[in-house]
Amino acid sequence: MIKVEMIPLAKEDREQFVLDNQEAFNYGALEEFGVRDNHLEEDGQIISGQTILNSIKEGEAYWILCDGIRAGGAVVKVCGSCGELELLFISPKMHSKGIGQAAWREIENLYPGVEVWETVTPYFEKRNIHFYVNCLGFHIVEFFNSHHPEPTEPDNHEGSDDYEGMFRFEKRM
């Protein structure tokens, strides 16, 4: 079984964390769409640097180390018995080695009081959907789209035919 360490993100590492996260997210979109232009947040990125920095600011950010090497990162936000997996990424060079599953086990161990975990992922991220449902035991509980917008951003996509959606997942412990 793969062992990983979850190391709290130091303030001076935020820029590298953002870059590594964007590399991993872009890889998934590139794998699905090839050269794309309609799924981007900013400057050719599938997820903006500001989105990542906001997650870091609102949650707890960690580097995922495997054999002492940075293999990815995660950001979680916990409020009482509810936890939200804001971000989880593994370097594309380290995919399919069990690192993501090992990191999730460590997150569960770090937050034993969480009874329900939530996360979201874009509809096109088949690897993520497989990972959350088949490997980690999450369930798809909602599909945000132009006809059912995210409650935190109802005006951003309502009536927009180009918003293709996000799945919301839950895992009850």
CA distance 156 to 172: 29
Q: Among 63-67, 117-121, 124-128, whose mean pLDDT is lowest?
A: 124-128
Q: Where are the domains of the chain?
A: 5-172
Please determine, for residue 157, whether its predicted confidence score (pLDDT) is greater than 50.
Answer: no
| pTM score, whole prediction | 0.83
Query: If DSSP codes are grouped into helix, strand and coil, which group holds residue 40?
Result: coil
92-111 mean pLDDT: 96
Q: What is the pLDDT of residues 9-31, one digit of tens each?
A: 999 999 999 999 998 888 765 55
5-172 placed in CATH 3.40.50.1110: no
